[in-house]
Amino acid sequence: MKILHIGKYFPPFKGGIENFMSSLIDQQVKDGHQVSVVAHHHEPEKPTIREKLGAVHLVRVKCYGALAYAPMSPTFGRETNKLVDELQPDIIHIHMPNLSAFWCLFSKKLRAIPWVVHWHSDVLGALPDVKLKLLYPFYQLFERALLKSAKAIIATSPNYLENSKPLADFHQKTHAVALGLPKNTQHRIPRKIQNEELRLLTIGRLTYYKGHSYLIEAIQKLTNSGVLVHLDIVGIGELEQNIQNQIIDLGVTEQITMHGRLEDEELYELLEKADLLCLPSIEKTEAFGVVLLEAASFGIPALVSDVPGSGMSWVVQHMDTGIVVKAQNVESLAERLTWASKNREKIAIMGAKALERFRDTFQIVNVSEKITKIYRMF
Q: 324: helix, coil or strand?
A: strand
Task: Tell me the C-alpha to C-alpha distance, in Å, between residue 102 and each of 10, 110, 139, 171.
Answer: 18, 11, 9, 21
Residue 256 sits in a domain of what CATH number? 3.40.50.2000
* Claim to verify: residue 7 and residue 144 sit in the same structural domain: yes
Strands 56-61 and 34-40: parallel
- DSSP annotation string for 62-80: ----EETTEE--TTHHHHH
User: Which pLDDT score, from 0 to 100, does residue 67 have?
Assistant: 81
* Claim to verify: residue 48 and residue 63 sit in the same structural domain: yes
> d(Cα 177, Cα 161) in Å, to the nearest integer?
10
Which tens digit of pLDDT belongs to each residue from 141-188? 999 999 999 999 999 999 999 999 999 999 999 999 999 999 877 666
Please report whether residue 191 resides in a domain: no
Q: How much is the pTM?
A: 0.91
Answer whether residue 190 shows pLDDT above 60.
Answer: no
Question: What percent of the chain has pLDDT above 70?
Answer: 97
| Neighbour count for residue 245 (Cβ, 10 Å) | 11
* Contact call for residues 150 and 118 (beta carbons, < 8 A): no
User: Which pLDDT score, from 0 to 100, does residue 188 have?
Assistant: 64
Strands 229-234 and 152-155: unpaired
Which tens digit of pLDDT belongs to each residue from 3-31? 999 999 999 998 899 999 999 999 999 99
* Claim to verify: residue 286 and residue 356 sit in the same structural domain: yes
* Claim to verify: residue 171 and residue 216 sit in the same structural domain: no
Q: What is the DSSP letter of 99?
A: G
Answer whether residue 136 shows pLDDT above 70.
Answer: yes
* Contact call for residues 325 and 336 (beta carbons, < 8 A): yes
Cβ neighbors of 138 (< 8 A, separation 6 or more) are: none
Cα–Cα nearest to 163, from 151, 152, 173, 176: 176
Q: Could you list the residue range(s) of the whole structural domain that residue 158 is in?
A: 2-182+363-375
* Claim to verify: residue 239 and residue 332 sit in the same structural domain: yes
Strands 256-260 and 229-234: parallel
Estimate to the nearest angstrom the gap between the alpha carbon of 344 and the chain centroid.
28
Q: How many domains is the chain partitioned into structurally?
A: 2
* Contact call for residues 282 and 209 (beta carbons, < 8 A): yes
* Claim to verify: residue 257 and residue 294 sit in the same structural domain: yes
> d(Cα 155, Cα 70) in Å, to the nearest integer?
21
More confident of the two residues 187 and 79: 79
Q: What is the DSSP letter of 326?
A: -
